[in-house]
Amino acid sequence: MPVSRRDAICSISGATLAGLSGVLTPEVLEAQAAQAQEPWPDRLVERPLRPGFPAPLPLNPDGSAPEHPESAAGPITDPLMWRTPNRQAPAIEFDYRKMAIKIDTRGLGRLAGTLRFEDLEKLPRVSHTFLLQCGAPNPRGIVTWTGVRFSDFADLLGLVPGAHYCRLIASDRHYVDEPMTTLRHPQVMLAWLMNNEPIPPRHGAPLRLIVPFRYGNRSIKAITEMIFATPGLPALALPA
């Protein structure tokens, strides 16, 4: 029976997702090929779980990330998953001293426009050593990040209490939406140094978000734009 392109795509399961995480073993490739030939089931069926997912994310009892000694810092293991055809970081200005990041506070803050490094230099600089852990076994690594607390940056913008969340957009157009309650956590950072050196392009230069108590995909790389917003308009009352 011929299998449509849609059915082939929909037949992705645990083994295929393992391949997407970089574990492209011959067994995984063989399983992908076999599953692509299977018609999509017309009922709910058991499927194998994605192997090794999610990887353990050790946290403190209060949900914060453990702090590691700077002596434990080192590289982040591969693979890195940029959302580009070649899986490489898009070409942008990587020098953090020349950063130009669009900040749209939509009337919810005193400042808006283009963020420059001299704006961040006004804020207290902090360094912390955290584990960066992807949901899959890789990438991971204990890294010393240097930058500023997001809460200090938010105060610089003069955000009103009604600013509910921020959308952070990366150079590959990947984005995350984070509530301000998360972003104002004292461990959340905007970082431009990694292990006391400028963050390499493949790891998110010139500026990346660090949310150490979440999986690494929330610590979005190569920020190009931030948009602050409120929740949606309240729903209309139901008729009596």
Q: Residue 198 in contact with residue 96, Cβ under 8 Å?
A: yes
Domain annotation for the chain: domains and CATH numbers:
1-50 (no CATH), 70-229 (3.90.420.10)
| 18 vs 20: CA distance, rounded Å | 5
pTM of the model: 0.81
Can you say whether residue 222 is alpha, beta or left, with left for phi > 0 and alpha for psi between -120 and 50 degrees?
Answer: left
pLDDT tens per residue across all 240 residues of the chain = 444 444 443 444 444 444 444 444 556 556 666 666 789 999 999 988 988 889 999 999 999 999 999 999 999 998 888 999 988 999 999 999 999 999 999 999 999 999 999 999 999 999 999 999 998 888 999 999 999 999 999 999 999 998 999 999 999 999 999 999 999 999 999 999 999 999 999 999 999 999 999 999 999 999 999 999 997 656 777 775
